[in-house]
Amino acid sequence: MKIVVCIKQVPDAKDVRLDPETNTLARAGVESIMNPYDRHALEEGVRLAGEQGGTVTVLSMGPPQAQEVLREAVACGADEAVLVSDRAFAGADTWATTHTLAQAIMTVGGADLVLCGKQAIDGDTAQVGPGLAERLGYPYATCVKKLLGCAEGTLRLERMMDDGYDVLEVGLPALLTVVKEINQPRLPSLKGKMKAKKLEIKTLSAADIDADPGQIGLPGSPTQVVRVFSPQARGERTIFQGSVDEQVEQLARELEKSN
């Protein structure tokens, strides 16, 4: 079984904070990390490849610096790493991203199973997985919380819904997006770290993947950001004063007023 795991390098959201004074982003040394959901996708891929026999290729679209997360993925058990990187990809929205990733997957010979995280913690769109599946012509399931089994080219799984979960069957090739409940990701092994250090990461440009210039980067993105701003500071704020009893009294009145 050939498994491709899509991994994005993202700024660590817990370091990204709003400066309450200036209302701008205070960015004291924001670190780049592997998108947390993608770590779970990787773990599931490595586990499944081990169980079924197969290989795991990790794929990322990003600047050269995204090599770091690919190496980390190899240290955690991936066999191969592919980086699609080109200045022409900058500013891609999810439509352009899915074109690029789909072309890259076809360039490396397709896949039996593509795994993505539920969403990337920078954009939080959760659109790349389903969009990529459609580009590839694969069926898919989002928010997968458990793989129940894989037999004769059919996967059985549980997908989360708002009101519970569905048990689903899907034939390969397919794409899944996963949530963190699905597994507990392993740490890099020593052997993996050695391998990651030596591994040559295959780097593909827009031309290498035969990308449609009209569907990549900012010019190929149907959505355009016209304004970026800090969230409105909330209106009036009160910290109640006085004894605990007095504060409780003020809060109770407030609650009774609005409830």
Ligand X SMILES: Nc1ncnc2c1ncn2[C@@H]1O[C@H](COP(=O)(O)O)[C@@H](O)[C@H]1O
Ligand Y SMILES: Cc1cc2nc3c(=O)[nH]c(=O)nc-3n(C[C@H](O)[C@H](O)[C@H](O)COP(=O)(O)OP(=O)(O)OC[C@H]3O[C@@H](n4cnc5c(N)ncnc54)[C@H](O)[C@@H]3O)c2cc1C
Interface with ligand X by CB under 6 A: which residues?
A: 6-8, 35, 37-38, 41, 59-62, 94, 97, 101, 116-117, 119-120, 123-129
Cα–Cα dist 128/96, whole Å: 10
- Residue 150 binds: one of ligand Y, ligand X, another protein, none (C-beta under 5 to 8 A by kind): none
To which residue do tokens 């997360």 refer?
Answer: 69
Question: Which of 198/227 has CB closer to another protein?
Answer: 227
Burial status of residue 108 (CB atoms within 10 A of its CB: 0-12, 13-18, 19 or more): middle
Cα–Cα dist 259/256, whole Å: 5
Helix or strand holding residue 10 (H, E) = strand 9-11
Question: Which of 41/199 has CB closer to ligand X?
Answer: 41
Helix ranges, 53-90 (H) = 67-75
Cα–Cα dist 53/123, whole Å: 34
* CB of residue 114 to another protein, shortest distance in Å: 14
Cα–Cα dist 118/44, whole Å: 13
* CB of residue 24 to ligand X, shortest distance in Å: 24
* CB of residue 19 to ligand Y, shortest distance in Å: 18
Question: Which of 198/234 has CB closer to another protein?
Answer: 234
* CB of residue 3 to another protein, shortest distance in Å: 19
Which residues are 9's β-sheet partners? 34
* Residues in touch with ligand Y (CB under 6 A): 14, 36
Question: Which of 57/177 has CB closer to ligand Y?
Answer: 177
* CB of residue 194 to another protein, shortest distance in Å: 28
Question: Which of 8/71 has CB closer to ligand X?
Answer: 8
